[in-house]
Amino acid sequence: MLRRLVFVMVLILALPPRAEAQDQATLVSDSLAIVGDSRLIAEGNVEVFFKGRRLKASRIVFDQATDRLEITGPIVLTDETGGILILASQADMQADLTEGILTSARLVLDRQLQLAANRMMRVGGRYTALQTVTASSCKVCAGNPTPLWEIRAARVVHDEQERQIYFDRAQFRLAGVPVFFIPRLRMPDPTLDRATGFLMPSIRTTSDLGAGIKLPYFIALSPSSDLTLIPYLTLRNSQTLGLRYRQVWTTGEIELNGAITRDDLIPGDPRGYLFVDGAFDLPLNFELSIKGQTVSDPAYLLDYGIANLDRLDSRVEVKRTRRNEHISARIISFQTLRDDEDNTTIPSILADLTFHRRFSLGVLGGEGGLRLQTHNHYRSSTDPLDTSGDGIADGRDLGRVSARIDWRRSFLLPMGIEATVLGDATADAYTISEDAIYEGSTTRTHGNAGVEVRWPWVKVAAAGATHVIEPVAQLIWSSSDAETLPNEDSVLVEFDEGNIFSLNRFPGSDAVERGPRANVGMTWTRYDADGWSMGVTLGRVFREADLGQFGPGSGLDGKTSDWLAAVNFDLTDQLALTARAVVSDDMDLTKGEARIAYSGSKTALSSSMIWAVADPLENRQDPTQEFTFDAKRKLTPNWTGKLSGRYDFVADRGTVAGFGLEFLNECMRVDVSLSRRARTCRQ
C-alpha cells in the first residue's frame, strides 16, 4: 500500500513569490510524481483545497506550462461558500478551478436542486453552463430513473453571483410525461432566499365563488422590504387583488395584508380588508406594537377564507416588562362582525394605562405589590337607554381610575406547615355618562384580609416516583357592602384550579368578590421516574352568606359553591390531557371542559369539549355543548390524511367539518382539503 503523501504547492504559478496564504493550494494524494520540468502527476485518493473549494478525484495532472489541470474521475468539486456540488467523470480545468470543461457532469445546488448534463463548462468562476440538461429536486437512482417531476432543457446557465438559473427551450415533465413547453425560463437557485418572481399557485373552490386560482407574484423591493401581489380569479365573476407588504428596520418590522374585490355576492360595491401588524423597540427597553384590522362587510373574511374572526381588534400599545415591574399604555378599537351586535352600542374605543410593581416590604417582610390603572371606553351611540336588551345602556361611556395594593408573607411552622398572611386593598373612582341609571361620578373602596395554611406531604416510592399531596385552606374576610356600579369587564367568571385560592375571582375591575368565605382544597401530584406527571385538584368555596354576586353558570353562586375537580396528565412530549368539571352536590354538571393533545410517530390528535349551562348573567341564553377535534394520520411515508370538525350538541348539527390529503416527498408537496361551515345569516 502506497504511503499517503501531502504536498503543498502554489498552483497559480503566475502569482508573485510573496503570495498570501489564502492564494495557496493544498494537494493530498497517495502518490506524487514530477515529470520533466513542468508536469506534476498525483494519483490515488487525490484531494485539492483552494479558496473554499474542495476537489476530489482519482488522478490529477498539473501542467505548469499551460496552467491547467487534467482530472480523471470520479470527480467531486465542492464550493462551500456557494453551496455548490459538482460531480463529473472527467474534466479539463484551469488551475484555480474557476474555468474548464467537465463531461457527464451533475450540478447540485444547496443539496436541493440537481442538474445533470452531458457537458458542463465553468466560465470566469461565476457561470456554469450545461448542455442537454435534466433538472429536478427528486431522487434519481437506478431503481427509479424517472423523477416525479423534471425540467429538461437544451441549455442551462447558472449565475453564481446573482444566484439565478436560466433555461433555454425548457420542457416541464410529470412522471416522464411532457406537460408544457417554455422557450425561456428563469428561476432563483435554492441558496437565494428572496427573488422577484411567481410563487406557488393555489386553487380554491367554494360554493359561493366557484373554482378559482391564486397566482402570487413576489417583488423584492430592497434587502429590507418586499411586496407580494396576489391576483385571485374565480369562475363566478369574482376578481380580487391581494397584497402583502413587509419591511424591517434595525429597531422593528411591519407587515400589511389586504385585498380589494368585486364580485356578485354584494353587487356594485367593492369589498376588501386590511390587516396591519408591527413591532418596534423603543428607548429604555420599551416596546411598541401596532395592530390594525378593518373589513368592508362582516362576511368578507369567511367568503374568501382569510380568517375566522367575529370581532376585529385594532390597537397601539407601548409596554415594558421587567422582573418586578410592568408598564403599559394602549388604545384599542373594536369592530364587531356578529349578527347580534351593533358597532354603535359596543365599546368601540378603549384606552388603558397600567403601572404594576412588586417589591419587598423591609421590616414587615414578605412581598408587596402596587398597581395603578386608568381605563376609559367610548360608544358612538348617545342613547342613555338599553334598547338592544343586553342589560347595558346603548350609549354608556365610562372612565375609571384605580389603585390597588397587596401584601403576603409566609411562615414555616413545625411539621412542615406553611402559613401565610395576605391581604389587599383597592380604591376606584368612576365617571359615567350617557346612562340613565348609572350616570354621574362615584367611588368605591374594598379590601380583603386572610390567612392561608398549606401542609405538603411528600413521598418517594420504591420505583422512583414522587408523590406530593397538599391540603390548602384559606380564611378570607372582606366587606359585604355592595356598591351601585355597572359590570362590563367581569361578566364571565371562571372557577378553576388557577383561581380557587384567589382573593378575587372576577377577571376585571368592575366587580369585586365580597363577604367572608373559606377556600378549601387539596392537590395530589405524581412525578414518575420515566418523565410523565399527573395532577389532581379538588376544592370548593364556603361563604358566610349568599350575596348574589355570581350567576348559576359560574359554579360559584349560593352560600356554598359547586365542587371543582380538575386533572392534568403530561406524558413527556407525546400526550397531554387537561380536564376540569364544576359539579353540584347532586352531581349535576354546571360547567365542564376537556382538552387532549397527542403526538405520535404516525398520528397527531388534538380535541376539546366544553359543556356549560345557560346563564343570562354571562349573556349565554342557551346551554353550550360543543366538541371539536383536529387529527392527522400518516397513511404511508408520503401520504398524510387530515380530519377536523366541530359539533354542536344543542343545535344537534355539525358546524364545521374538514377533510384533507397531503402528499409530501423530497421534491413535491400537494395539499388538497375540503371544508364545510354551517351557514349564518348575512348582514
Cell of 90: 472527467
Q: Which residue, 623, 620, 508, 505, is CA-closest to 564?
A: 505
> Please, which residues bridge with residue 241 across strands?
231, 260
**Cell numbers at residue 161, please?**
453571483
461 conformational bin, left if phi > 0, alpha if psi -120 to 50, beta if neither? beta
Q: Encode pLDDT of 605-640 as tens digits.
A: 999 999 999 998 888 889 999 999 999 999 999 999
| DSSP annotation of 490 | S
Say yes or no to pLDDT of 13 above 50. Answer: no
| Contact status, residue 516 vs residue 543, Cβ threshold 8 Å | yes
Taking 3-state DSSP, the helix, strand and coil percentages for the chain, each rounded to the nearest 5, stand at 5, 60, 35
Residue 22 has a pLDDT of 46
* DSSP-based three-state secondary structure for 233: strand
CA distance to 203, 507, 594, 609, 644, per residue, from 625 (Å):
35, 23, 12, 8, 17
Q: 472 Cβ partners below 8 Å, 6+ apart? A: 452, 453, 454, 501, 519, 520, 521, 522, 523, 539
Q: What is the pLDDT of residue 4?
A: 40
Of 642, 635, 631, the closest CA to residue 597 belongs to 631
- 6-33 burial, b for 16+ CB within 10 Å, e for fewer? eeeeebeeeeeeeeeeeebbebbbeebe
Q: Please state, in angstroms and rounded to a whole number, the distance separating the CA atoms of residues 212 and 303.
A: 13
Per mean pLDDT, which range of 75-84, 150-159, 182-191 is the poorest?
75-84
Q: Per the structure block, which three cell numbers stand in for 492?
A: 364571565
Residues of the chain with pLDDT > 70: what percent?
Answer: 95
- The pLDDT, as a whole number, for residue 8 is 40
The answer to whether 33 and 40 have CB atoms below 8 angstroms apart is yes
Across the range 100-126, mean pLDDT stands at: 89
The region of weakest confidence among 280-284, 297-301, 423-427, 488-492 is 488-492
Q: Are 480 and 505 in contact (CB under 8 A)?
A: no
Looking from the CA of 359 toward its CB, the CA atoms found within 13 Å total 10
If DSSP codes are grouped into helix, strand and coil, which group holds residue 630? strand
| pLDDT single digits (tens) 350-391 | 999 999 999 998 778 899 999 999 999 999 999 999 988 888
Instruction: Determine the Cα–Cα distance for residues 266 and 407; give it in Å rounded to an integer.
Output: 58
Residue 271 parent element (H or E): strand 271-281
pLDDT tens per residue across span 385-441:
998 888 899 999 999 999 999 999 999 999 999 999 999 999 999 999 999 999 999
Mean pLDDT, rounded, for 32-47: 87
Could you report the per-residue pLDDT of 142-168, keeping only the tens digit for each? 667 788 899 999 999 999 888 899 999
Give the pLDDT of residue 23.
59
- pLDDT recorded at residue 679: 62
Rounded Cα gap, residues 159 and 541, in angstroms: 73
| pLDDT for 603 | 94
- Please report which confidence band the pLDDT of residue 301 belongs to, taking 50, 70 and 90 as the band edges: very high
* Residues 332, 354: Cα–Cα separation, whole Å: 14
Task: Give the whole-angstrom CA distance, residue 113 versus residue 670.
Answer: 18
C-beta separation of 414 from 407 below 8 A:
no
Query: Which residues on neighbouring strands pair with residue 26, listed in sequence order?
Result: 8, 49
Per residue in 577-613, pLDDT (tens digit) is 999 999 999 999 999 999 999 999 899 999 999 999 9
Contacts of 233 (CB under 8 A, 6+ apart): 212, 213, 239, 240
Q: Is the pLDDT of residue 6 over 50?
A: no
pLDDT averaged over every residue in the chain = 90
Domain boundaries, the chain: 5-194, 310-441, 456-588
Question: What pLDDT does residue 67 have?
Answer: 86
Residue 511, φ and ψ in degrees, nearest 5 = -130, 145
Kindly report the pTM of this predicted structure. 0.82
Q: What is the DSSP letter of 615?
A: B
What average pLDDT score do residues 301-327 get?
Answer: 94
Q: How far is CA 236 from the centre of its chain?
A: 34
- Helix and strand numbers (H, E) in the chain are 1, 41
Rg, the chain, Cα only: 35
Number of neighbouring beta carbons within 10 Å of residue 145:
8
Per-residue pLDDT averaged across 89-103, rounded?
88
Asked whether residue 3 carries a pLDDT value surpassing 60, the answer given is: no
Question: What is the band of 572 on the pLDDT scale with cuts at 50, 70, 90?
Answer: confident
Task: Specify whether the backbone of 52 is left (phi greater than 0), alpha (psi in -120 to 50) or beta.
Answer: left
DSSP 658-681: EEEEEEE-SS-EEEEEEEEE----
Contact assessment for residue 368 and residue 404, using Cβ atoms and an 8 Å cutoff: no
Query: Would you say residue 447 has pLDDT above 70?
Result: yes
In the numeric block, which cell numbers belong to residue 295?
373589513
Distance CA 205, CA 208 (A): 9
Cα–Cα distance between 649 and 592 in angstroms, integer?
14
The contacts of residue 234 (CB under 8 Å, 6+ apart) are 209, 210, 211, 212, 263
| Cell, residue 83 | 453551496
Residue 538 above 90 pLDDT?
yes
| Residue 128 predicted with pLDDT over 60 | yes
Give the chain's largest Cα–Cα span: 111
**DSSP states of 574-612 as a string?**
TEEEEEEEEE-TT--EEEEEEEEEEE-SSEEEEEEEEEE
